Amino acid sequence: MMITALAGGVGGAKFLLGLSRVLPPSDITVIGNTGDDIELYGLHICPDLDTIAYTLGGRANPDTGWGLAGESWICLQTLRDYGSNPWFQLGDRDLAAHLWRTQLLKEGRTLTEITSLICNALGVKIRLLPMTDSYVPTRVVTKTGERLHIQEYLVLKQSQPIVREIEYSNIAEARAADAVLQAISRADMIVICPSNPFISIGPILAVPGIQRAIAQSLARVVAISPIIAGQALKGPAAKMLQELGFGVSAAAVARYYQDLADVFVLDWKDKDLCSEIETLGMRPVLAHTIMNTIEDKIAVARKVLEIA
């Protein structure tokens, strides 16, 4: 069964690790969020693509979910010695990916080609496609009118500022690579992973042509809630839902995906929301969606495959 998954950072990567244990890698294509991308020290950094590749390659830092396990921080410390003030933690091993990617971009390779090279080198067999090859950094407009790069909001400001609006900069000029549109049209199932709807999935859906391709596809579209009992397991999804006026619940996330998803997977803790999910025209499917162990991740993946 051909599955195409839309994924962002840590939550999406966890589900994908489970999926990669229950399906042949050739059946899985991931469309990865690149709205998190940032240019720092002249390097092009792709946090969500790297988080997915590192996780599926078994190299991710198990404590943070991002970056590499067994990392060292000598380059960053040396930058501080020189008087720089690095606010975005770049480990020595992680730096290699950014150096390599930036060099290849300068040589005219596309982000799609480079991501494939890095995945091959990491032994990642599933196909990971950037949602677009152009630079479309997500920005957060705060209540005080500040426009922050998403990483400034997440890391520098620790997601504290009140969010007034999310901007997907340059997204109208972006285009989805052909492989992305093919992966959508050929899918038997499209899974919207349990990532932040606004800053991980939203940018993917905002790339011209992607939302239409999903709506026109014959695939069963399944969204997995990143909110359980009114909380996000990681990151500012719950706070953003609140501040952007959606309300904080799995049902609020279902409303966000209402025009796209046929099925909505939510946690048993939210079973009372099933009737509301049905009124939104989606079939609710209950699962244990808290994914700590690999068994948890495999169980959620199996539950999703049963939906087909």
Contacts to ligand FO1 by CB under 6 A:
8-10, 36, 47-48, 50-51, 66-67, 88-90, 94, 151, 154-155
* Dihedral sign of CA atoms 177, 20, 288, 237 in order: negative
Run of H or E residues at 266: strand 263-267
Q: Would you call 53 helix, strand, or coil by DSSP?
A: helix
Distance in Å, CB of 91 to ligand FO1, minimum: 8
214: nearest Cα among 126, 131, 289, 276? 131
Nearer to ligand FO1, 8 or 130 (CB): 8
Nearer to ligand FO1, 72 or 216 (CB): 72
Nearest approach, Cβ of residue 194 and ligand FO1 (Å): 12
Q: Which is nearer to ligand FO1, 88 or 100 (CB)?
A: 88
Q: Would you say 155 or 244 has its CB closer to ligand FO1?
A: 155
Considering only CA atoms, which of 139, 151, 114, 108 is closest in space to residue 129? 114
Residues 6+ apart with CB under 8 A from 210: 31, 131, 176, 180, 181, 184, 204
Least gap, CB of 36 to ligand FO1 (angstroms): 4
Alpha-carbon torsion angle 213, 202, 37, 68, nearest 10: -100
> Which one, 68 or 263, has the nearer CB to ligand FO1?
68
Shortest distance (Å) from residue 51 CB to ligand FO1: 6
Please, what is the minimum distance in Å from the beta carbon of residue 246 to ligand FO1? 19
Supply 27's token pair: 């059946």
Q: Residue 223 forms beta bridges with which residues?
A: 192, 264
The smaller minimum CB distance to ligand FO1, of residues 154 and 251, is found at 154
How near is the Cβ of 159 to ligand FO1 at its closest, in Å?
Answer: 9
Q: Hey, what amino acid is at 298?
A: I
User: Nearest residue to ligand FO1, using CB?
Assistant: 9
